[in-house]
Copies of this chain bind each other. A is one copy, B any other.
């Protein structure tokens, strides 16, 4: 009984990372479980982190059963914890329920969206409580990415509000996530300062109604950032880049705007609290903080979806999920530049394309294509 299917796996052995597609047996669901035939699973930047880890993509080699990469010695320590483990990949996805335990029988035949890992696979056995049935008019592709990006974007706004900030700065802002964030901020009346790295990206954001879009490659970037931060009163930033000095420059702009409003000099800087959250690692180099330029009222912290949801509690999480479902085809619509099969995910040319994480490019895996 059960189902036979395939699962994409990533394994670190010694100084190599191997990607393979394994045949697996899916057990019958328990009473409160279902089995979903996966029809759509997005490739998010966070998936690539587990898929390829610190592997050197330039060292790609096709081997008998998949692909193999070298890991630089300096990065080996960072994956010591997963050595030898065959790890399934794919945070979120959607598909059709093909089997269900007695307590979940009504779900059979329905399309559901879900998060929980191991989505780059033909089938996923999962607790019924952990999926969200899609509206009848929504395709699996439309429901495949209803967790990571939408909840992160909503989580940013929720975090900003609950910590008393009234405007937000966002880097790498033309991403799918960034576009959702802009739409939410427009709807909720929160000023958003978008930082991008090209004219095309700036245009993309302007087209969806963005008021503040700054190109960090612009000669007058520092000045424009200072002006935008002063005009909006932004005191919180979410940074996908992490490495280098951009986060520090944002904090400095916030401090400068606050100091301009101070009635008298203090050598400790302004009394206005500035918060930088780092939620990504597009630049893996160290974070450089020129902290003397932003006083003592500041914090730089990691931001991650699951700890946020846990801290926010079930009520907030439920409210955010309901909004995602209600705005699935508008605010939270993802558009994909390419739909690939599970096999194609390990095609060297295809992998090199999605691994670049170029803004505007977004891949969806549909295992039913083979």
Contacts and interface: CB of A to CB of B under 8 A. Distances in A.
A290 interface: yes
Nearest to A242: B291
Contacts of A78: 292-293
A219 to B, nearest CB: 19
24 contacts: A78-B293, A81-B266, A82-B265, A82-B267, A85-B265, A87-B265, A242-B291, A271-B307, A281-B292, A284-B292, A286-B289, A288-B288, A288-B289, A289-B289, A289-B300, A291-B302, A296-B302, A297-B302, A298-B301, A298-B302, A299-B300, A299-B302, A300-B301, A301-B301
Interface string A270-310: 01000000110100101111111101111111111001000
A301 B299 contact: yes
Contact of A248 (B267, B286, B297, B301): B286
A49 interface: yes
Contacts of A265: 81-82, 85, 87
Given A81-B265, A82-B265, A82-B267, 18 more contacts: A50-B267, A78-B292, A78-B293, A85-B265, A278-B296, A286-B288, A287-B289, A287-B291, A288-B289, A289-B289, A289-B300, A296-B302, A296-B304, A297-B302, A299-B299, A299-B300, A300-B300, A300-B301
Shortest Cβ-Cβ A-B pairs, 5 listed: A296-B302, A81-B265, A299-B301, A287-B289, A296-B304
Interface in A233-278: 242, 248, 259, 262, 265-268, 271, 278
A53 interface: yes
A289 B278 CA distance: 12
A312 to B, nearest CB: 15
Contacts of A301: 298-301
A301 B274 CA distance: 10
A81 B278 contact: no
Contacts of A297: 302, 304, 307
A290 B286 contact: yes
A290 B307 CA distance: 21
Nearest to A83: B265
Given A286-B288, A290-B286, A291-B242, A49 B296 contact: no
Given A284-B292, A297-B302, A49 B307 contact: no
